[in-house]
Structure 1
Amino acid sequence: MTDRRDPTPRRDASRNRERPLRILRVTSDIHPEVPGGLGLHVHSLSKKQAEMGHDVTVLTSDHGDRSLPRTAVRDGYALKRHREVASPVDNSIVPGLAKSLWDLADEYDVVHAHSHLFFSSNVAALVASLTDAALVVTNHGLFSQTANRWVQEVHLRTVGRKTFDAAERVFCYSETDRDRLQSYGVQTPVAVVRNGIDCTTFRPVESDESERAGERNDNGDTLLFVGRLKPGKGVGVLLEAMAELREQFPDLTLRVVGDGPLRASLEEYAADCGVADRVTFAGWRSQEDLPAEYGAASVFVLPSLSEGFPRTVLESLACETPVVTTDLPQLESVLDGVGLTVPPESPGMLASAVGELLADDERRERMGAAGRSLVTDRYSWDRTVERTTAAYYDVLDAEPPAEASPVAEGRTPER
């Protein structure tokens, strides 16, 4: 293990990009214990990199579930859970993770933290600044859907920025996210690595598959929402839009796939809006079941107030289902020709956009085919993993500054 007082990043002297890497991943959430895009991204990335021959260990939180084993092996990677002591605004506080990082960081080639918003990533940045760990951070979106915006602004300009600045590389899903991050003064080099999905799992399904799943509305069109039922997802706005659409499309139904703290209140709100008989709260569905859900839907709707780069949009497009989302900057250019965007918290405009697509079967079909082509060309999961892993080697191959060069100081590089 390297002397912790040595500030020089460890490098691989051989620069052999075929050699397996030791990857220490740090995340608040992991699939399937915590549903959502971040946890699924972390699990899928860890699984794929393990299949590629890399040694992957994931440090995460138990989120208060003491029945979970402290350590486990899942799909080829090691998992180490830490005890949660508190969870303000869904931010899992796990003090024990700091000790694991301190003990393990120098034994790994790369430490990869996910999202600057979480305690776990902030601790990873602190440990990296005190050791020679090669830290990279994935920006899963600058703002969460939970805490107040002004609190997040303060965090981003202080602790969040320090987390990014401690890294040797930051990953963003889009050029828009990169530019927004740099507008906050982050100087760390940014690599745009687009989010991706498994296009063999998410694909158009035959109608009988959707019918066997019991998801098809034989009398009319179906709208679909997939996600956590929490503030910021905009499901209440979608219910209001359903109320406006019902007169024009009396057989229209809505399936809400997901669960969360707002489920009971949203079910009540559906009744208040007069659409309870047309809305099904289906709970979570497995990844294997989701293609049938998308395939049975006429339009996928995501009225979120904020997002990183939502996997659900890509999943829907891969299944040839057009989408309507809020006009988030990172989505507007992507959805050109494959979906529509509207301002957030605008049920009337949301209803209008959805109605526009429901009234034009041929347009939906064209959008669906174009969406599938877009995802397979630019957002395949294999490409995401390959580019992420290649960026690790770029970081390890980078020459340290001349004044800190181990060769210049007569030391032998350890990487």
Structure 2
Amino acid sequence: MATLVSDDGAYGGPVSVAAGQCAELRSRGHDAALLSLWRGAGPPPADVDGVPLLAVPARTVLPGMGFLALLNPRLLRLLWRETGRADVMHLHAGRDLVTLAALAVARLRRTPFLVQTHGMVPPRTKPVARLFDSVYVPLLRRARACLVLTEEEERGLATVFHGRHPPLLRLANGVRPRPRTGEPDGKLVLYLARLHPRKRPEAFVAAAGLLLPRLPGLRFVLHGADEGSLPEVERAIAAQRLESWVEYRGPVPHGTALERLAEAAVYVLPSVHEPFPMSVLEALAAGTPVVATSSCGIAAELASTGAALITDGTPQALADAVERLLTDDGLRERTVAAGRAAVAGVFSLSAVADRLAALYTEALRR
């Protein structure tokens, strides 16, 4: 269960994670499907990356509240039916009405469930969040386990739970290695993430302005749904007169995003405090070298193995790292090889599915 599947990939990593987990479990003979709201130009598709999708159109209950306020009464009927049929529910949980509804239905149906929070349930002190948590947290405590990505997320959830919580268990995100089907565009530098202040797309634009005098002919493309930073990106492009070299091309579906990652010469993610960026893993799986920041939750692992170039996130550092990858063939080859090795070992979807199957079995026994 995930909150939202959309044709623009707006909900990002949690949907990719959920679909990947389901696909790997299905390859082992398990009957796994993805439940969600759907937002797009047409009706919900039959599947997401080959995984059956059971979805109803998203409706905004409270304007201006983002993902939190999405729901549809038809989703409640779908949840009631499918949760009653399921042995275990795996809920990719945010702090939103869809998650709240799924928790309540699973509890009423007495269906064992696990939650995976993806860093989306940090401590909050605003009155609206505290009111929501007064209903949400008691239901969340009923999970057989809460799957977390990092130590920081574990500490934050312990605060949200106020000391009484289900087991907090580490589970990495995983991807499958993908063979490269063609040569990358050696001039293309890619940003692929939501245009949100935490993602810092304006730092990508600033890095482009620093790089172009050194490496003329590069092209810089941004893909992702706008969540507040697009005006700043457009101002930065105009202020530096980069319109001929830097282009925002909007959001793309997940399948297209994977194609864009495979086409790029370098993938740059300037995000700060990113718990576990799936786009980075997907770039590594595609054989595309990555530039990221030291506050990324997997930065230490990537840096220690040489799987990515890790920077302090300043435009100058981002530009320097991209330049090194584009001008040093040996460094590029070593980084790509280390990235693929990290995907095959540390970030293996197969290993994630092994752990999930064991956790589901344990949940059924309790």
Please indicate, yes or no, whether the TM-score normalized by the shorter chain is above 0.5: yes
The aligned residue for residue 278 of structure 2 is: 311
Q: Which amino acid aligns with 2:188?
A: T
Q: Give the Cα–Cα distance (whole angstroms) in 2 for the partners of residues 254 and 39 of structure 1.
A: 26
Percent identity of paired positions between Structure 1 and Structure 2: 25
The aligned residue for residue 243 of structure 1 is: 209
Q: Give the Cα–Cα distance (whole angstroms) in 2 for the partners of residues 334 and 160 of structure 1.
A: 34
The aligned residue for residue 71 of structure 2 is: 94
User: For residues 139 and 223 of structure 1, do their structure 2 counterparts lie closer, same or farther at Cα, with a shift above 3 Å needed?
Assistant: same
- How far did residue 49 of structure 1 move? 3.4
RMSD of aligned alpha carbons: 3.5
Cα shift readout 1:213-232 (whole Å, capped 9, x = no counterpart): xxx24xxx432111233443
Q: Which amino acid aligns with 2:319?
A: A
2:91 to 104, 113, 123: 113
The aligned residue for residue 280 of structure 1 is: 247
The aligned residue for residue 348 of structure 1 is: 316
TM-score (norm. length: structure 1)? 0.72
Q: Does 1:223 align with 2:189?
A: yes
Contact 2:9-2:254 at 8 Å conserved across structures: no
User: For residues 324 and 159 of structure 1, do their structure 2 counterparts lie closer, same or farther at Cα, with a shift above 3 Å needed?
Assistant: farther
Contact 1:50-1:77 at 8 Å conserved across structures: no
Q: Which amino acid aligns with 2:233?
A: L
Cα shift readout 1:131-179 (whole Å, capped 9, x = no counterpart): 52212111112369xxx97659955975664453221111223455435
Q: Does 1:171 align with 2:147?
A: yes
The aligned residue for residue 341 of structure 2 is: 373
TM-score (norm. length: structure 2)? 0.81
Q: Give the Cα–Cα distance (whole angstroms) in 2 for the partners of residues 355 and 58 of structure 1.
A: 41
Q: Give the Cα–Cα distance (whole angstroms) in 1 for the partners of residues 262 and 72 of structure 2.
A: 43
The aligned residue for residue 237 of structure 2 is: 270
Q: Which amino acid aligns with 2:358?
A: A
Cα shift readout 1:256-280 (whole Å, capped 9, x = no counterpart): 2334355566345312222221113
The structure having more radius of gyration, on CA atoms, is: 1
- How far did residue 111 of structure 1 move? 2.0
Which has the larger share of helix? 2
- How far did residue 113 of structure 1 move? 1.4
1:196 to 170, 174, 177: 174
- How far did residue 387 of structure 1 move? 2.3
Q: Give the Cα–Cα distance (whole angstroms) in 2 for the partners of residues 189 and 357 of structure 1.
A: 42
Give the 4+ runs in structure 1 shifted more than 6 A. none
Gaps of 5+ in 1: 1-25, 211-215, 399-415
Q: How many residues align?
A: 355
- How far did residue 81 of structure 1 move? 1.4
User: For residues 53 and 306 of structure 1, do their structure 2 counterparts lie closer, same or farther at Cα, with a shift above 3 Å needed?
Assistant: same
User: For residues 126 and 343 of structure 1, do their structure 2 counterparts lie closer, same or farther at Cα, with a shift above 3 Å needed?
Assistant: farther
1:232 to 160, 182, 198: 198
User: For residues 162 and 303 of structure 1, do their structure 2 counterparts lie closer, same or farther at Cα, with a shift above 3 Å needed?
Assistant: farther
User: For residues 153 and 188 of structure 1, do their structure 2 counterparts lie closer, same or farther at Cα, with a shift above 3 Å needed?
Assistant: farther
User: For residues 243 and 317 of structure 1, do their structure 2 counterparts lie closer, same or farther at Cα, with a shift above 3 Å needed?
Assistant: same
Q: Give the Cα–Cα distance (whole angstroms) in 2 for the partners of residues 163 and 310 of structure 1.
A: 27
Contact 2:274-2:296 at 8 Å conserved across structures: no
